[in-house]
Amino acid sequence: MITQPAAADLDYSDTEVALRDSVRRLFSDRLPTDVVMSSYDNPAPDVSGVWKTLAVDLGLAGLLVPESLGGAGASAREAAVVCEEIGRAVAPVPYLSSAVLATLALLNAGDTDTVARLAEGAITAALVVPFSAAAVDPVVTAHDGTVSGRVDTVAGAAEADILVVPAIGDDGTELHVVESTSPGVHVRPILALDMTRPLADVEFTAAPARRVDTRDPDHALRTALRTASALLASEQLGVAQWCFDTTLAYVKDRRQFGRQIGSYQAIKHRLADLWLEVSSAGAAARYAADTIARDDDAGIAAHVAASYCGDTAVRAAEECVQLHGGIGMTWEYPAHLYLKRAKADQIALGDGYWHRARLAELVGLPPN
């Protein structure tokens, strides 16, 4: 007897609503916009306490980890809610890089000991691939218990305690765990467009490494990247939703020539179009998270969400800047935070063109 997957459900459950409220309250209390904007100062503020609260006190570092390993045993639906709130606040926390990318790679590879430490929030990790990478093509080599090579623009590497390193070894693609403080490890922070998600170049020079004993590292890496790209769409939804809500409130309040600027037909049309795009992005992102949770058609849904939500977030951020007029262009107003996050996310884990090309392959469309 064949069991049919449960029907898709795009609504938020009571649990997801409560989770959203908790995360939003944390960011509202601890990460107001002036604190986030100071990420561009030198030196940037220390917000590690916010990550500790999110990871340990709220237990979200182990949200995707089974209860048997000390995690919450939740699904991609709950993780998507967290990512939405991270996007809404442009929160400078390593949730996507540590609790999603690195954790899922190790979980699917069977490294239960390290996953248990990540779940309890004792350590953070980073998957050593370029943040723009949609697929893994290892450039690091592994030999005699060490790894060597360089990977540029790695998200979360500067604050990570351990580095999860795809490498080429005697058996092809392998997965290795490297302590960030080990000799031969060089992590160099770089200037990024979005300073709220730090990037770094990582270089290994015969750095001691522990190989993860897994028969299919490629599957572990593909699964981690696919899930992360789907959850990134939820973060992009959070960015877009904040931009739309904030812009709508502004045009209702701002007056020119004795009228609210939102009463002008041209402004109404632009916001109506934007509302439709953001609502569609919400459906795409929720469906992607739901299909991953149900393990039903997840590849197609993830590519649809990734290809659509990235462009929508950029459009919403650009409209936010433009419709705020002069104040939207200033450094003191937070609109630039959302435009930078949207632009950086748009090319993260594969740009829209790459995801549309993969989507065409999956549904059998011929190449151009």
pLDDT digits (tens, 9 = 90+) for 231-263: 999 999 999 999 999 999 988 887 677 677 766
What whole-number percentage of the chain has pLDDT above 90? 75
Per the DSSP assignment, residues forming a β-bridge with 260 are 255
More confident of the two residues 267 and 94: 94
Predicted TM-score (pTM) of this structure: 0.93
Does residue 242 come out as left (phi exceeding 0), alpha (psi in the -120 to 50 range) or beta? alpha
pLDDT attached to residue 368: 62
pLDDT attached to residue 262: 67
Nearest to 28 by CA among 89, 79, 70, 83: 89
Residue with tokens 């990247």: 225
Q: Give the pair of three-digit tokens for residue 248.
A: 């709508």
Total number of residues shown for the chain = 368
Mean pLDDT of 208-220: 92
**What is the tens place of the pLDDT at every residue in 104-113?**
999 999 999 9
Residue 145 phi/psi, 5-degree rounding, is: 75, 15
Q: CA 63 to CA 206: how far, in whole Å?
A: 34
Residue with tokens 């999956």: 362
Neighbours of 131 (CB within 10 A): 25
Instruction: Indicate whether 211 pLDDT > 90.
Output: yes
**What is the tens place of the pLDDT at every residue in 263-318?**
678 889 999 999 999 999 999 999 999 999 988 777 899 999 999 999 999 999 99
Beta strands in the chain (DSSP E): 125-127, 140-143, 146-155, 162-169, 172-179, 185-190, 199-208, 210-211, 255-256, 259-260
Instruction: Indicate whether 5 pLDDT > 60.
Output: no
Distances (CA, A) of 268 to 235, 263, 273, 342: 26, 7, 9, 23
pLDDT attached to residue 2: 41
- Provide the residue type at 290 as one letter: D
Average pLDDT, the chain: 91
Domains of the chain: 14-124 (1.10.540.10), 127-214 (2.40.110.10), 218-362 (1.20.140.10)
More confident of the two residues 279 and 4: 279
pLDDT attached to residue 367: 63
**What is the tens place of the pLDDT at every residue in 332-359?**
889 999 999 999 999 999 999 999 998 9
Look at residue 136 and give its three-state secondary structure.
coil
Per the DSSP assignment, residues forming a β-bridge with 204 are 149, 185
Neighbours of 125 (CB within 10 A): 28
Q: How far apart are the first and last CA of the chain?
A: 41
Radius of gyration of the chain (CA): 21
Eight-state DSSP code of residue 118? H
Band of residue 1 on the pLDDT scale cut at 50, 70, 90: very low
Nearest to 130 by CA among 99, 109, 157, 103: 157
Instruction: Indicate whether 3 pLDDT > 50.
Output: no
pLDDT attached to residue 326: 81
